[in-house]
């Protein structure tokens, strides 16, 4: 719940640096330059973003066509995410849609080659669900105005599927069952109590629901569609967070998450007939997800291990587990074909974006179907990342992810950026980021600090910033700057801060409340006025409004604190150059937030660069906009951080 301000598009744009398993850097070896500057290639943003991004179907959809010959993906090859069918043998891709708004797949129909997909309009987050017929006909299954909808999976017999939509009441999501032949539908669950619908049992008779009481405490319920009864299944005392993974394929058990038994989230099962609970997956890190194949023969689960997801595939018929034999990297989006003889998945590395692979289960043969990296880029010019940990103001150990340019050394120290993730409660994680690699390639150290309040490091760490935003979390970011300044390959006089969404707020907070620390700031659609933001949240956040207020504070009683931590009301303190990036259609952080901070800082006679994308929301899905934004970051930093002109350089009070 606490990753409130970040959409999938924003997270894709701002995905943090990749990591290795080390916890401390080698200052004069791997983290220092090994390639002379004269031999180092520098690329513009277009080169980085002319890599191709691929997105596979949701876990509840079918990535393979019914005959297994094709795999459904979304790709931004043309600049906008559209649907493609990739030949599972040759990798040849056929474009299926030519939409002007980025479109993402929900999967093939199980018995024919119709496709379910979704898109919003210009980033407004009001996604509709569509059917694409093989002849190119497109049908909007959720055509009402101001509606947000989501695909919720297929019934086991393949004769119907489920969609959640807030068309009846903008605050709450109801569940509809659609006939796969004629798209007629039936309202099977009317949500009048503010639940969040999760998994639906394969026979469509049970719906798992979650209810957040506070940011640390939540419950799960089962709604019986046939009887109309809703039953609490996680009765407990104290603060325990629960979540929904999936039903087992036979519908006998619900697999759910709980942090009841330690710092980290475990996977447990609830027997729907007896009510018995049992541990399913326990680890020293959070269990991120659990899915099953249609037959129930295979289980796939991921563990968030220090910012990188490790994946295990378990053969439930033998009890044996295996990890695909692939090049080193991060595996994601594991999907099986209909007869469960082949697996499709995505594989990324620190220096390479997601590529689509296929594995033959019996032979173990692997095939890479795509080559996403722009051939203009020499991958050897890109940089791996390392996990580092540093002490904050109170001695608390803070994890972070570090990229050091090849050009940086004790002899040629580099300017640096503290990167702050979105959320609150997000996490800078492993994976290729064109934005970050572009910054590093242009000579900037990037240090993504996972300040207290970040997810992935235990529930105690996760809640350390509750109602202390702009205070303890900000000090963690300030101490990230102090750590950077101590490294011999960093120019201690040239350290800035960059972040998106909640990270953008932290940029504003750092410049307003710790004005002597950073030399520049880049605010990417960040909250500048918490009073307004908490009063204007989208209506579909109603189900967790109470939990949001528990974490951030209720505007009715905490208005003064919200005003005190809002950069807008302290903008007179901002004395260093500021860049602001904003999507005009953003429903989470309204454009007026950026308009006002730009005007306030300009009134200080401080240089401000303001970039607005009229066709984007909370995150930039169009390749041309991502290129423009990334080039703007580097131009701004080159001007005001790396080598500012004397008349534009920041001045001290």
pLDDT band at 424 (very low <50, low <70, confident <90, very high): confident
And the tokens for 182? Answer: 């004629």
Average pLDDT in the 197-214 region?
Answer: 95
The per-residue pLDDT for 649 is 46
Average pLDDT in the 446-467 region?
Answer: 95
Mean pLDDT of the chain: 90
Q: Is the peptide bond before 555 cis (omega within 30 degrees of 0)?
A: no
With a cut of 80, say whether residue 191 has pLDDT above it. Answer: yes
Q: Which position has the token pair 């058990």? A: 253
Lowest mean pLDDT among 50-64, 183-197, 251-265: 50-64
C-beta of residue 368 within 8 angstroms of C-beta of residue 349: no
In the three-class reduction of DSSP (H, G, I as helix; E, B as strand; rest coil), residue 490 is classed as strand
With a cut of 90, say whether residue 302 has pLDDT above it. Answer: yes
Mark residue 108 as left, alpha or beta (left: phi above 0; alpha: psi -120 to 50; beta: remaining): beta
With a cut of 80, say whether residue 127 has pLDDT above it. Answer: yes
pLDDT band at 359 (very low <50, low <70, confident <90, very high): very high
Average pLDDT in the 139-164 region?
Answer: 96
Q: Cα 49 to chain center, whole Å?
A: 18
- DSSP codes joined into one string, 377-396: S-GGGS---EEEEEE-TTS-
**What are the strands, taking DSSP E only, across 539-628?**
578-583, 608-613
| Element housing 357 (H / E) | strand 352-360
Whole-model pTM: value is 0.88
Cα gap 525→523, rounded to integer Å = 6
The per-residue pLDDT for 40 is 85
- What are φ and ψ of residue 513, in 5° steps? -105, -20
With a cut of 60, say whether residue 420 has pLDDT above it. Answer: yes
With a cut of 70, say whether residue 516 has pLDDT above it. Answer: yes
The per-residue pLDDT for 71 is 97
Average pLDDT in the 154-164 region?
Answer: 96
Lowest mean pLDDT among 214-228, 318-332, 535-549, 604-618: 535-549
Q: Which position has the token pair 């499709």? A: 344
Which of these, 637, 624, 639, lies nearest to 102 by C-alpha position?
624
* Sheet (strand 366-368) strand order: 330-336, 342-349, 352-360, 366-368
Average pLDDT in the 369-382 region?
Answer: 94
**What are the strands, taking DSSP E only, across 90-241?**
93-95, 104-108, 115-119, 128-132, 138-140, 149-154, 160-165, 174-179, 185-189, 196-200, 206-212, 218-224, 230-232
C-beta of residue 445 within 8 angstroms of C-beta of residue 415: yes
With a cut of 70, say whether residue 435 has pLDDT above it. Answer: yes
pLDDT band at 7 (very low <50, low <70, confident <90, very high): very low
* Torsion angle (degrees, nearest 10) of CA 142, 148, 153, 157: -20
pLDDT band at 12 (very low <50, low <70, confident <90, very high): very low
Instruction: Identify the structural domains of the chain with CATH numbers, from first to last.
Output: 8-49+376-642 (3.40.50.1820), 199-322 (2.120.10.30)
pLDDT band at 34 (very low <50, low <70, confident <90, very high): very low
Q: 508: Cβ–Cβ under 8 A, 6 or more apart, which residues?
A: 521, 523, 526, 527, 528, 567, 568, 574, 597
pLDDT digits (tens, 9 = 90+) for 52-69: 889 998 777 899 999 999
In the three-class reduction of DSSP (H, G, I as helix; E, B as strand; rest coil), residue 194 is classed as coil
Average pLDDT in the 524-545 region?
Answer: 83
Cα gap 113→111, rounded to integer Å = 7
Average pLDDT in the 308-320 region?
Answer: 94
SS (H, E, C) 423-469: CCCCCCCCCCCHHHHHHHHCCCEEEEECCCCCCCCCHHHHCCCCCCC
Q: Count Cβ neighbours within 10 Å for each residue of 95-122 and write b for 16 or more, e otherwise.
A: ebbeeebbbbbbbbbbeebbbbbbbbeb
Average pLDDT in the 192-216 region?
Answer: 94
With a cut of 90, say whether residue 28 has pLDDT above it. Answer: no
The per-residue pLDDT for 323 is 79
Cα gap 315→324, rounded to integer Å = 13
And the tokens for 616? Answer: 């984007």
Using only C-alpha atoms, the chain has a radius of gyration, in whole angstroms, of 24
Does 7 or 307 have the greater pLDDT score?
307
pLDDT band at 644 (very low <50, low <70, confident <90, very high): low
Lowest mean pLDDT among 86-100, 227-241, 355-369, 547-561: 547-561
Q: DSSP secondary-structure letter at 642? A: I
C-beta of residue 241 within 8 angstroms of C-beta of residue 231: no
- What are φ and ψ of residue 379, in 5° steps? -60, -25
pLDDT band at 15 (very low <50, low <70, confident <90, very high): very low
């Amino acid at each position: 719940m606490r990753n409130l301000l970040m959409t999938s598009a924003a997270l894709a744009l701002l995905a943090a640096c990749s990591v290795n398993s080390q916890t401390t850097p080698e200052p004069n070896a791997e983290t220092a330059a090994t390639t002379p500057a004269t031999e180092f290639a520098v690329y513009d943003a277009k080169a980085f973003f002319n890599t191709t991004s691929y997105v596979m179907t949701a876990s509840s959809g079918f990535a393979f066509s019914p005959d297994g010959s094709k795999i459904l993906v979304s790709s931004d090859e043309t600049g906008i995410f559209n649907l493609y069918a990739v030949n599972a043998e040759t990798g040849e891709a056929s474009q299926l849609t030519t939409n002007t708004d980025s479109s993402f797949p929900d999967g093939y129909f199980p018995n024919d080659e119709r496709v379910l997909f979704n898109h919003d309009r210009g980033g407004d987050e009001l996604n509709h669900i569509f059917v694409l017929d093989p002849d190119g006909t497109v049908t909007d299954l959720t055509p009402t105005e101001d509606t947000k909808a989501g695909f919720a999976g297929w019934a086991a017999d393949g004769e119907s599927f489920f969609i959640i939509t807030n068309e009846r009441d903008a605050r709450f999501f109801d569940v509809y069952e659609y006939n796969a032949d004629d798209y007629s539908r039936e309202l099977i669950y009317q949500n009048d109590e503010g639940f969040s619908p999760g998994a639906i049992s394969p026979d469509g008779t049970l719906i798992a629901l979650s209810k957040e009481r506070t940011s640390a405490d939540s419950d799960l319920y089962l709604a019986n569609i046939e009887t109309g009864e809703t039953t609490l299944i996680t009765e407990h005392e104290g603060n325990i967070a629960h979540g929904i993974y999936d039903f087992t394929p036979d519908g006998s058990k619900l697999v759910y998450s709980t942090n009841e038994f330690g710092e980290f989230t475990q996977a447990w099962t609830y027997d729907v007939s007896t009510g018995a609970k049992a541990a399913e997956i326990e680890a020293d890190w959070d269990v991120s997800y659990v899915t099953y194949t249609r037959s129930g023969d295979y289980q796939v689960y991921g563990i968030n291990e220090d910012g990188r997801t490790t994946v295990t595939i378990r053969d439930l018929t033998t009890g044996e587990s295996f990890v695909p034999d692939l090049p080193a990297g991060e595996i994601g989006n594991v999907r099986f074909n209909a007869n469960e003889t082949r697996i499709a998945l995505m594989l990324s590395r620190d220096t390479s974006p997601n590529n689509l692979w296929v594995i033959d289960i019996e032979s173990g043969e692997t095939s890479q179907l795509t080559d996403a990296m722009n051939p203009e880029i020499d991958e050897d010019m890109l940089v791996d990342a390392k996990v580092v940990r540093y002490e904050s103001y109170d001695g608390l150990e803070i994890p972070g992810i570090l990229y050091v340019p090849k050009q940086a050394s004790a002899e040629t120290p580099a300017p640096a950026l503290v990167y702050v993730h979105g959320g609150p409660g997000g996490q800078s994680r492993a994976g290729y980021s064109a934005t970050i690699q572009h910054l590093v390639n242009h000579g900037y150290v990037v240090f993504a600090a996972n300040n207290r309040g970040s997810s992935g490091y235990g529930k105690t760490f996760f809640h350390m910033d509750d109602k202390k935003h702009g205070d303890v979390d900000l000090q963690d970011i300030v101490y990230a700057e102090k750590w950077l300044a101590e490294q011999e390959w960093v120019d201690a006089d040239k350290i800035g801060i960059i972040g998106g969404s909640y990270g953008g707020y932290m940029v504003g907070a750092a410049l307003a409340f710790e004005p002597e620390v950073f030399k520049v700031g880049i605010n990417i659609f960040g909250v500048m006025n918490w009073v307004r933001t908490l009063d204007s949240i989208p209506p579909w956040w109603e189900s967790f409004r109470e939990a949001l207020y528990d974490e951030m504070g209720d505007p009715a009683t905490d208005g003064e604190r919200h005003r005190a931590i809002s950069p807008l009301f302290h903008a007179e303190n901002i004395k260093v150059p500021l860049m602001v990036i904003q999507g005009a259609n953003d429903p989470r952080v309204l454009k007026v937030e950026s308009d006002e901070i730009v005007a306030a800082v300009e009134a200080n006679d401080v240089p401000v660069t303001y970039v607005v994308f009229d066709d984007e929301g909370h995150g930039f899905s169009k390749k041309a906009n991502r290129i423009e934004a990334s080039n703007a970051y580097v131009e701004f930093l080159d001007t005001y951080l790396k080598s500012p002109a004397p008349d534009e350089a920041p001045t001290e009070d």
